[in-house]
């Protein structure tokens, strides 16, 4: 049964792959770096303001959208991923410390497109939590850990 499903999926992908995406017309530009001539036939793609590049990118996006939309089960998968993504109230991106010991974290709400930097209110750096002290079985609620600069302890004068 699994082999049959695998063959059907392979056939669907093969059928999709038969239609080539629109090609960008190459125009070779040569540069010499340290005595070596380097050909760059797609230099024009670096200019995003070029109307030909914008039209090509739009055709590429249309081709990709058509390929994805025609895959069996894609729309249901996309709807389920959106449902799961919307079920999370917020995502925490990273935690940073400034030179004065204040902590900031980045947060993105479920309906937001970008992360926002948010200061923690009146808190100094808590006890250090390095990756070796965090349990591997427990989620941290953060997508990354950043090392804080080492703190220099000042010697107290003897009394």
pLDDT of 142 above 50: no
Q: Look up the domain containing 113 and give its range.
A: 89-122
Helix (H, G, I), strand (E, B) or coil at 156: coil
Q: Kindly indicate the confidence band of residue 15, based on its pLDDT and cuts at 50, 70 and 90.
A: low
pLDDT of 63 above 60: yes
Indicate the residue among 26, 60, 83 that finishes a domain.
Answer: 83
- Does the residue 141 lie in any domain? no
- Does the residue 75 lie in any domain? yes
pLDDT of 88 above 60: yes
More confident residue, 159 or 35: 35
- Does the residue 61 lie in any domain? yes
Helix (H, G, I), strand (E, B) or coil at 53: helix
Rounded to an integer, the average pLDDT of 80-108 is: 85
Rounded to an integer, the average pLDDT of 31-59 is: 91
pLDDT at position 40:
92
Say if residue 97 is in the same domain as residue 78: no
Tell me the C-alpha to C-alpha distance, in Å, between residue 135 and each of 26, 43, 128, 129, 143: 52, 48, 14, 10, 15
Say if residue 75 is in the same domain as residue 98: no
- Does the residue 8 lie in any domain? no
Only one residue has tokens 């056939």, namely 11
Q: Kindly indicate the confidence band of residue 10, based on its pLDDT and cuts at 50, 70 and 90.
A: low
pLDDT of 74 above 90: yes
- For the beta carbon of residue 140, count every other beta carbon within 10 angstroms: 13
The count of domains in the chain is: 2
pLDDT at position 128:
45
8 A C-beta contact, residue 96 and residue 143: no
8 A C-beta contact, residue 52 and residue 44: yes
pLDDT tens-digit map of 48-59? 899 999 999 998
Tell me the C-alpha to C-alpha distance, in Å, between residue 38 and each of 23, 53, 157: 22, 22, 65
- Does the residue 140 lie in any domain? no
Say if residue 95 is in the same domain as residue 73: no
Rounded to an integer, the average pLDDT of 4-33 is: 70
């Amino acid at each position: 049964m699994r082999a049959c499903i695998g063959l059907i999926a392979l056939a669907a992908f093969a059928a999709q792959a038969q239609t080539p995406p629109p090609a960008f017309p190459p125009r070779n530009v040569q540069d010499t770096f340290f005595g070596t001539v380097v050909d760059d036939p797609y230099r024009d793609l670096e200019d995003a303001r070029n109307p030909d590049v914008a039209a090509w990118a739009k055709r590429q996006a249309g081709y990709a959208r058509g390929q994805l939309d025609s895959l069996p089960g894609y729309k249901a998968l996309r709807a389920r991923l959106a449902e799961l993504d919307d079920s999370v109230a917020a995502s925490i991106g990273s935690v940073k410390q400034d030179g004065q010991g204040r902590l900031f974290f980045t947060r993105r709400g479920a309906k937001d497109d970008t992360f926002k930097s948010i200061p923690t209110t009146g808190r100094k750096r808590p006890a250090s939590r390095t990756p070796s002290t965090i349990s591997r079985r427990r989620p941290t609620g953060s997508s990354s850990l950043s090392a804080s600069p080492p703190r220099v302890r000042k010697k107290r004068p003897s009394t």
